[in-house]
């Protein structure tokens, strides 16, 4: 049985966004699910391992998962309320979460021997801040680490991440990770009052071996490794919005690793191109390999 090379754990949800007063629009999303779809569209065999509802909102997530080419054996369904992010205002940003279908994910229901063939396990966002799911996924990450798998972590800060998350969950997952992606906004929330350099040093104190990818929006990204410090400018495109750009860059970084791009600067270029392709579309667009290659060939060596 062929099993995926990358398994992305966490939540898939529906964003309910109010534009004009009383006008709401729904968008399937969730940072881990966005990363999984993008990885698959970039040519990496991928599974999203999470639980979604059995109603129409869950149906849409399942349908779009299949359309992206994800391994559908890893998605679980439960007769619980769908997880939704209710966004009454985007400017200024206001949001809260409701529903609990994500909390009923059961690793025991995953395909047998999945961990033997997986190469990378990715963890992120509110799945690590909602119990009992957070503890469940931490145990999965610990098991994967013992089995010699590469662990990827993107905190993707949200407002329900509290002091316990900062002081316990974040350090625990950071210590396991081989690859850590943070945005400049993540750093401001996780390490309030610290400079970027100070925050990176704090992370290095927890895990001195992990590669740390720091994204800065339109200012590009930087990579901290034991081999040195690398910078990458953003690719300039016509921006529809930046929703999901960080998830696309995360997927791009992981895809570059799994597709055998060994040069670190080339990996950064690929990751940055994925983010910029995503920005061309409204919503969390999962970039396809053809789109990324076209952008890279149009602006080589940026």
Domains and CATH numbers, the chain: 6-298 (3.40.1190.20)
Helical (H) or strand (E) element with 15: strand 13-18
- DSSP-assigned beta bridge partners for residue 225: 228
Per-residue model confidence (pLDDT) at position 21: 85
- Quick one: pLDDT band at residue 245, thresholds 50, 70, 90? confident
Distances from the Cα of 227 to the Cα of 130, 250, 264, angstroms? 36, 20, 10
Instruction: Please report the pLDDT score of residue 41 as a whole number.
Output: 96
pLDDT band of 61, cuts 50, 70, 90 = very high
- Confirm if 125 and 156 have CB atoms less than 8 A apart: yes
pTM metric for this prediction: 0.94
The reported pLDDT for the residue numbered 137 is 98
Phi, then psi, of 211 in degrees rounded to 5: -80, 135
Q: Give the Cα separation of 44 and 138 in Å (integer).
A: 24
- The partner residues of 213 in beta bridges, in order of sequence, read 181, 223
pLDDT at 8 over 90: yes
What pLDDT is stored for residue 24 in this prediction?
A: 87
- Calpha distance 51→76 (Å, rounded): 4
pLDDT at 187: 95
User: How confident is residue 302, by pLDDT bands cut at 50, 70 and 90?
Assistant: low
**pLDDT more than 90, % of the chain:** 76
Please check the confidence at residue 1 and state whether its pLDDT lies above 80: no
Token look-up 């055998």 returns: 260
CA distance 10 to 237: 30
Task: Return the number of other C-beta atoms located less than 10 Å from residue 236's C-beta.
Answer: 11
If you ran DSSP here, which 8-state letter would residue 237 be given? -
pLDDT at 284: 81
φ and ψ of 221, to 5 deg: -150, 160
pLDDT tens-digit map of 89-105: 767 778 899 999 999 99
- Greater confidence (242 vs 16) lies with 16
252 compared with 242, residue with greater pLDDT: 252
Mean pLDDT over 117-128 rounds to 97
What is the rounded average pLDDT of the residues 27-54? 96
Structure tokens at 151: 């662990």
Could you give the CA distance from residue 204 to residue 193 in angstroms, rounded to a whole number? 18
């Amino acid at each position: 049985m062929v099993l995926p090379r990358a398994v992305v754990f966490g939540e898939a949800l529906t964003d309910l966004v109010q534009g004009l007063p009383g006008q709401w629009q729904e968008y399937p999303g969730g940072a881990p699910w966005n990363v999984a779809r993008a990885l698959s569209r970039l040519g990496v065999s991928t599974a999203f391992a999470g639980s979604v509802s059995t109603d129409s909102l869950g149906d849409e997530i399942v349908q779009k998962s299949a359309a992206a080419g994800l391994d559908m054996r890893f998605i679980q369904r439960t007769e619980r309320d769908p997880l939704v992010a209710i966004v009454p205002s985007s400017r200024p940003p206001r949001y809260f979460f409701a529903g609990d279908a994500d909390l009923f994910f059961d690793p025991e229901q995953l395909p047998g021997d999945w961990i033997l063939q997986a190469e990378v396990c990715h963890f992120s966002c509110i799945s690590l801040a909602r119990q009992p799911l957070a503890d469940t996924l931490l145990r999965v990450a610990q098991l994967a680490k013992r089995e010699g798998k590469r662990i990827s972590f993107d905190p993707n800060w949200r407002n329900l991440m509290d002091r316990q998350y900062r002081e316990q969950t974040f350090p625990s997952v950071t210590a396991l990770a081989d690859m850590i992606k943070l945005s400049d906004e993540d750093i401001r929330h996780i390490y309030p009052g610290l400079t970027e350099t100070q925050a990176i040093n704090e992370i290095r104190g927890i895990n001195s071996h992990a590669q740390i990818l720091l994204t800065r929006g339109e200012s590009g990204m930087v990579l901290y490794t034991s081999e040195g410090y690398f910078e990458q400018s953003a690719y300039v495109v016509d921006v529809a919005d930046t929703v999901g750009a960080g998830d696309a860059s995360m997927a791009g970084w992981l895809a570059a690793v799994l597709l055998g791009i060994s040069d670190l600067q080339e990996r950064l270029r690929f990751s940055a191109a994925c983010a910029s392709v995503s920005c061309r579309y409204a919503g969390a667009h999962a970039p396809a390999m053809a789109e990324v290659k076209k952008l890279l060939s149009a602006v080589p060596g940026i």
